[in-house]
Chains A and B, each alone.
Chain A
Amino acid sequence: MNPLVPVNDRAYLERYVAAGGEEFYIGFHDPAWHERFGDEADLNRMTGFRRQANPYCFEDVLSIVDEVRDLGKRIYVTFNASAYSQERLDFLFGYFERLHAAGATGAIVSVPEAVEPTADSGLEVVASTMCGVYNADIARFYRDLGCGRVIVPRDVGLAEIEAMTEAVPDVELEVFLMRNGCVFADGFCLGRHFQGRNALCWDVRHAEREFYTVGHGGGLSRAARENNETYGRFHLSACGLCAVYRLEQAGVTAAKIVGRSDDPACVLRDIEAVVRNVEIAKRCADEQEFLARMSVPPERARDCGDSLSCYYPEVRFPRTARREPLVRAG
């Protein structure tokens, strides 16, 4: 299982590779796109955040592709806006041919209609998490269109990932492993991202809220109030290192380290942690041995206590039958 790393700072590329980065992904901004379609048109899901999330222009990306290829690694370019009109899709196709000529490995696409033109350009095609590949039927659909890999949404459980690798063995699976969880699903979230304004998930968790309840008693129960407080702390960071053994055993191809707008030093430490734990997993006889021997960086370990920062909490915290009431007893 290879770590898949965002190229968020070109100056870190060689360090990322030295740390074990095998595969990279990158998005870009393009003034020509905005000149044609307007400032609010998304080239990828992070376009609205402008250069904070897409610091490089297309010409830069071609050069970065060249550099990654020289380093003997693979790089994918992301086209993962929520939707594209046919006119915008036609514009995208111009990028694909140039990326292939430059030596890019593939493109990450978010809509079915982009798959065939991407494949025709010679690029490998990856179905983005925006495609919402939640089960094997959907994975087969994208495989049949021409995707060699699908990115499993971050809100899919570990056992489900294992089942999908068995059900669709001829499709590579890429899973979320490190950084930046979310309360919503990327593929089903249609709020806009704009620089200087909050993402929807931020606003929802920080807004003044009213709970409308029915039932016996009055007001929210203590459990409901605690749940509200806990929801505000959920996935402020995210880590899936405890799942590395099972993901490796399942044959998952790539472990995604998220963070196109994150501090590259933090991303570097996450690459090191993933690589270190994949190596440990390969030497372990079973999951229990891995969990006993695995290496958790100190900055991650401090979040390990309550499962709220876990991509795959079921590894350490299996569910029990205990339940609490919704409304306060009256």
Chain B
Amino acid sequence: MQSVPACNVADTAAAARAHGMTLPLLVERTMQAAGRRSVKRLYVGSNLCSQYFLRQPEQVWREAFSLCRRERIPATLVVPVFSQKDLAEARRRIDELVSAHRDVVDEITVNDVGMVAHCLDRYGLPLNAGRLFSKEPRDPRYLELFETRHAVGVPALVTELFRHGELQGLELDPTHAALDLSELRGLMPHLEVGVHMPYCYMSTGSICELASISRPVREKFRPNASCSLECTRCAVGYRLPYGARLLKFGRAVYFPNHDCTVCEGEDFRMIVSPFDVLVPRRDARIEHGPTVARLDAGEPVRGFEAASEGRRTSLAAEGGAR
């Protein structure tokens, strides 16, 4: 089995400059860290943050597409979910980007069904179902569930869209210790499968912790609030009580899964994100790592017990669509 190396600078391209690198250098170091000597495709835009997509500086977009032209590699435009207030602006921005860079943008990755319809109607470019289309549970806190060879299931919606010719590809996350693509390949042998490495997306939302740093208390944590791309200069690492580690980059939380193996498939794209270049990794040598400031677990949560809301199961019941 072969994997085609691709670099995913969606959500991170603007961080290169803040970390003292050019985008080409970020890409080079990312692929080196993944043990790959070449890159065959660049993913540009945002997987998970509408504000990042709308606010990535024009210079960064240009730098990304220029890199594609120089290296003669295609670009995938990655489009996140936009909430109602940003939808019209997002459509304009996507129009501008596709129009200006059609020579290198040869496909679009979308993350919601509304954008599937819009992009199909408007651009005629091949579409990939992004990371948010595959919602199989994943959770490194539960070793007994994580340390398995996971047969990747196909969301029925993706099957349907693929059969209608509306999708050409599907992006997956390294959800388990090993991924088995055979069922997927059996059902849709011509589906272009990409696997994000080496971090698995786990959770996100419209509220950005980092974008609220600059706001007064009463204005913090508003959904899809405008920001200054604080995520280009700050990330958060978590050490959970069960030994698991998580990384918050932008609005999303990921867990590292560097050892994930992909079994039983044909070719797939290995879509590498540059988190290991931008934040320290315990088992990696980082020459240009950022400053680390540690806060202990007790510091941010004073007063929680007094504030909990009459719940009978106060610990376990936080979270989820109740």
Contact = CB atoms under 8 A, between A and B. Distances in A.
A12 interface: no
A204 B216 CA distance: 22
- In this complex, the member of B136, B236, B296 whose beta carbon has the largest number of chain A beta carbons within 10 angstroms is B236
Contact of B112 (A132, A208, A219, A221): A132
A214 interface: yes
A232 B157 CA distance: 37
A157 B209 contact: no
Interface in B41-100: 48, 81-85, 87
Interface in A5-64: 6, 40, 42, 45-46, 49, 52-53
A247 to B, nearest CB: 15
Nearest to B18: A214
Contacts of B1: none
A200 B207 CA distance: 15
Contacts of B209: 183, 227, 231
Interface in B281-296: 289-296
B112 A157 contact: no
A91 interface: no
A135 B84 contact: yes
Given A156-B83, A186-B321, A224 B156 contact: no
Nearest to A195: B316
A263 B212 contact: no
Nearest to A82: B135
B239 interface: yes
A81 to B, nearest CB: 8
B205 to A, nearest CB: 4
Contact of B320 (A186, A204, A210, A263): A186
Interface in A137-160: 137-138, 140-141, 153, 155-157, 159-160
Interface string A300-312: 0001001110000
Given A207-B246, A326-B230, A156 B223 contact: yes
A261 to B, nearest CB: 4
Interface in A233-266: 233-238, 258-263, 265-266
Contacts of B18: 214-215
Interface residues of B, number: 101
A261 B81 CA distance: 30
Interface stretch (A67-75, A95-103, A278-286, A317-325): A317-325
A234 B233 contact: no
Contact of B317 (A199, A211, A303): A199
A298 interface: no
A201 B318 contact: yes
Contacts of B301: 205-206, 232-233
Nearest to B206: A155
A213 B291 contact: yes
A205 B209 CA distance: 11
Nearest to A53: B317
Interface in A173-224: 179-180, 182-215, 218-221, 223-224
Interface in B190-225: 201-207, 209-210, 212-225
Classify chain A: how many residues form its interface, as a range.
Answer: 35 or more
A326 B209 CA distance: 12
Contact of B157 (A111, A135, A163): A111
A52 B137 CA distance: 21
A313 B94 CA distance: 31
A212 B280 contact: yes
- In this complex, the member of A89, A195, A215 whose beta carbon has the largest number of chain B beta carbons within 10 angstroms is A215
A189 B203 contact: yes
A86 B142 contact: no
Contacts of A218: 291
A188 B204 contact: yes
A314 interface: yes
A6 B317 CA distance: 14
B316 A193 contact: yes
Contact of B312 (A78, A129, A213, A262): A262
B220 A214 contact: no
Contact of B139 (A196, A200, A266, A308): A200
B113 interface: yes
A329 interface: no
Given A190-B137, A229-B300, A327-B233, A204 B307 contact: no
B85 A211 contact: no
A291 to B, nearest CB: 16
Contacts of B204: 184-185, 188-189
A112 interface: yes
B157 A207 contact: no
Contacts of B241: 203, 207
B112 A262 contact: no
Contacts of B101: none
B84 A160 contact: yes
Nearest to B81: A134
5 nearest CB pairs, A to B: A137-B114, A199-B319, A232-B300, A266-B310, A185-B205
20 contacts: A45-B321, A46-B322, A52-B316, A53-B313, A83-B137, A83-B155, A134-B206, A188-B48, A188-B205, A191-B138, A191-B203, A192-B137, A195-B316, A199-B320, A212-B290, A212-B291, A213-B290, A224-B213, A232-B302, A236-B307
Interface of B: 18-20, 48, 81-85, 87, 112-115, 117-118, 132, 134-139, 141-142, 145, 153, 155-157, 160, 201-207, 209-210, 212-225, 228, 230, 233-241, 246, 248, 253, 278-280, 289-297, 299-304, 307-313, 315-322
Interface of A: 6, 40, 42, 45-46, 49, 52-53, 78, 80, 82-83, 85-86, 89, 110-113, 128-130, 132, 134-138, 140-141, 153, 155-157, 159-161, 163-164, 167, 179-180, 182-215, 218-221, 223-238, 258-263, 265-266, 303, 306-308, 313-314, 317, 319-320, 322-327
